[in-house]
Amino acid sequence: MTLRFKFILGVAAALMLATLPWFASPTLIQFGISTLLLATLAQGWNIIGGFTGYASFGNSEFFGLGSYGTAIAMVQWQLPFGVGLIFGVLLSVIFALVVGIPVLRLRGHYFAIATLALSQVMTAIVSNLEVAGRNTGLVLPLLNGDTLFYELSLAVLLLATLTVLWISNSRFGFGLIAIRENEDAAASMGVNTTLYKVLAFALAGVFSALAGGIHAYWITFIDPVSAFDLSLNVKMIIMTVFGGPGSVLGPVIGAFVLSGISETLSTEISSLANLFFGVVIVAAVVFMPRGLADLMRRFRKTGWRYFSENVKQHRL
Amino acid sequence: MEQALVVSTMQLLSQILVNGVLLGGLYALMALGLALVWGVLNIVNLAHGALIMLGAYVGYYLFTLLNIDPFLALPLSMAVLFCVGYLLQRGILNLIARAAMFNTLLITFGIDVVLTQLAQIFFSADFRTINPSYAGSNFMVFGVTLPLVRVLAFVVALALTIALWLFLLHTRLGRAIRATAQNLGAARLYGVEPKAIYALTFGLGAALAGGAGDLYGVVSQINPYIGATLTAKSFAIAIIGGLESPLGVVVGGIFLGVVESLTALYIGPTFVDIASFGILVLVLIFRPNGLLGATT
């Protein structure tokens, strides 16, 4: 595919998604909003997890901070939604810097567990804050306008995807990939690894916080447990890994496909959807660790051997 | 009057310290399996907490359905979890043994999700507790109240820790496991079969988790979602104590138990997790080889 063709295809897909609210049913639009927000989270995780290779199990913190930032600004200080959103993003970026600078010095397991531990703590911290409404949470003003929320979510996802597209072609992105492949070598080649990692973490924070802010205003009620929902980590990670970590469109496709399947499953039994996510992570890591994007590229040549070759390559 | 106050404060403090130490023994057993698997296989098993949860449910159902005392059920719970662990390693984890560490984190995370959701489907999300007739009994030593089940759990946890240590030091299999941890290539040359050793070690780690879970069900409440917190706590303990010896893990467990008890009393019960994970993050940042580990 030529670059121009790809560009036209991308614009057409975005336009098609944008016109959806005018002919879809209200339930479909609501499903669309949550899928777009999940895709945004996945794209955010892609920056730190996919490109930089730092497995963060705590990106839900950013989502929660975005939710709470927006809610506190709107409810406690009566500021407009836009300002609230910016406040949420600001909180998230500050958190990414304050926590990221020490925690991103850790590698591998240590980083993963530190983020896991932090995500467990946030609920407890927020439940002790008066301004955040303690355990009871906050109720935001009601705004009936699913179309508006849909378009807003789509815009944020587009922004995130364009940012990732820029990353994948920039000096910054090559630096991140170098860190993923071999951090010491990257450092010796002159990559300022600390700066790059913290920036990647903060960028992930920006998009996750935007998704959180929109979600809070849409759902109109937040409390510590739902805002810092740990299962969001499961979803954003699996969507990215399934779609193709470190690719531009992988996380978005992963989010669309998996949301669709899990939505169908959860109309039957709700816990079945989560079980499905777990099974997909395990199967994806074993059979297609480079994701759907790589599978589609190589499947034509290798056929079903694609899966057995992945297993052969990594088994004991 | 003032003297009485001092005495009661001292008594309260010693009670809290004793509670913390008793809890810490159990914490140590929880962390032991994680540390073993991490040290030998270089896998940080994010499903470790879920295995503890499964062990707790095995104990719970043996008690409620078959009326088996939880302390007698301990070997059974460990045996069941050994099989689960052995099969997980043999069937799934061996398939990605040579993949990047990132992938082992993802896959154990996936296993954690699967186990948690299966538990929710089959056992329901209700809080359960293993409640034998002697659950409420206490005895007093020097004015400090000692709950019987917690003391028993502490003793069993310590005994298992020592048993593991002796096993690793003095048996043929234990030596093979330690050799694999130190140098896989050299161990292979001496006839160690890594597939089997890996599966055995992971099974052993899971068995320890199962034992810890059974005891946890006696002293605390269980539900399918306790896993993630317990994984993080086990990791915290392993980090604080260092990976070199089981004794370090015991020290780490008791340290965390005491800190949690003190936090619950002097700051507030809602701050317990903040304190323990705060310590984890601080230790990770300032002494990544453990409080007791060597400095680099």
Q: Which of B95, B184, B197 to mutate to test the interface with A (most CBs of A within 10 A)?
A: B95
Nearest to A316 among B44, B98, B239 (CB): B98
d(CA A277, CA B292): 39
Nearest to A55 by CA among A107, A3, A5: A107
In a domain, residue A10? The reply is no
Average pLDDT of span A9-35? 84
On whether the CB atoms of residues B11 and B3 are closer than 8 A, the answer is: no
Nearest to B108 by CA among A290, A281, A108: A281
Average pLDDT of span B238-248? 77
pLDDT digits (tens, 9 = 90+) for A185-211: 888 888 888 899 999 999 999 999 999
In a domain, residue A250? The reply is yes
In a domain, residue A187? The reply is yes
Provide the domain limits for residue A284. Answer: 31-313
Q: How confident is the model at residue B2 (pLDDT cuts 50, 70, 90)?
A: low
Q: Pick the residue from chain B with its C-alpha nearest to A281.
A: B110
Q: What CATH code is carried by the domain that includes residue A99?
A: 1.10.3470
In a domain, residue A3? The reply is no
Test B281 with A114 for CB contact under 8 angstroms. yes
**Shortest CA gap A60–chain B (Å):** 14
> What is the four-CA torsion angle of B35, B41, B44, B45, rounded to 10 degrees?
-90
On whether the CB atoms of residues B208 and B32 are closer than 8 A, the answer is: yes
Residues of A in contact with B267 (CB under 8 A): none
Residues of B in contact with A57 (CB under 8 A): 46, 109
Lowest mean pLDDT among A85-94, A161-170, A231-240, B68-77: A231-240
Residues of B in contact with A241 (CB under 8 A): 106
Whether ipTM tops 0.90, in short, is no
Q: Which of B232 and A255 is assigned the larger pLDDT?
A: A255
Test A113 with B273 for CB contact under 8 angstroms. no
B142 shares contact with chain A (CB less than 8 Å): no
Residues of A in contact with B99 (CB under 8 A): 285, 289, 314
Distance between alpha carbon A176 and the CA centroid of its chain, in Å? 17
Average pLDDT taken over every residue of chain A: 86
d(CA B210, CA B121): 20
Please state the domain count of chain A.
1
Test A108 with B198 for CB contact under 8 angstroms. no
In a domain, residue A23? The reply is no
As a whole-number percent, the residues of chain A with pLDDT over 70 amount to 98
B172 shares contact with chain A (CB less than 8 Å): no
Residues of B in contact with A120 (CB under 8 A): 228-229, 232, 273, 277
Instruction: Give the N- to C-terminal CA distance of chain A in Å, as an integer.
Output: 38
Q: Which of residues 235-254 of B touch A (CB under 8 A)?
A: 235-236, 239
Average pLDDT of span B283-292? 67
- pLDDT of amino acid A9: 83
Nearest to B95 among A237, A271, A315 (CB): A315
Average pLDDT of span A121-132? 78
Nearest to B109 among A103, A120, A281 (CB): A281
B278 shares contact with chain A (CB less than 8 Å): yes
3-state secondary structure of B128: strand
d(CA A21, CA A136): 33
Highest-scoring range by mean pLDDT, A52-56, A89-93, B196-200: A89-93
- pLDDT of amino acid B295: 44
Test A281 with B106 for CB contact under 8 angstroms. yes
- HSE-up (13 A, CA, CB side) for residue B249: 28
- pLDDT of amino acid B49: 94
pTM for the structure as a whole: 0.84
In a domain, residue A1? The reply is no
In a domain, residue A14? The reply is no
- pLDDT of amino acid B118: 92
Nearest to B26 by CA among B70, B66, B64: B70
As a whole-number percent, the residues of chain B with pLDDT over 90 amount to 26
d(CA B66, CA B64): 6
Residues of A in contact with B44 (CB under 8 A): 109, 112-113
Q: How confident is the model at residue A129 (pLDDT cuts 50, 70, 90)?
A: confident
- pLDDT of amino acid B291: 59
Residues of A in contact with B45 (CB under 8 A): none
pLDDT digits (tens, 9 = 90+) for B12-55: 888 888 888 998 889 999 999 998 898 888 888 889 999 999 99
In a domain, residue A6? The reply is no
On whether the CB atoms of residues A46 and A203 are closer than 8 A, the answer is: no
DSSP-derived secondary structure letter, B93: G
- pLDDT of amino acid B212: 93
B273 shares contact with chain A (CB less than 8 Å): yes
- pLDDT of amino acid B241: 79
Kindly report each contact of residues A187-191 with a partner whose C-beta sits within 8 Å and lies 24 or more positions away, as own/partner: none
pLDDT digits (tens, 9 = 90+) for B51-87: 999 999 999 999 999 989 988 999 999 999 999 999 9
d(CA A218, CA A34): 10
- Residue A143, CA distances (Å) to A65, A217, A220, B3, B121 in order: 21, 8, 8, 63, 36
Q: Which of B106, B118, B234, B260 to mutate to test the interface with A (most CBs of A within 10 A)?
A: B106
**Shortest CA gap B95–chain A (Å):** 4
Residues of A in contact with B38 (CB under 8 A): 109
Test B235 with A118 for CB contact under 8 angstroms. no
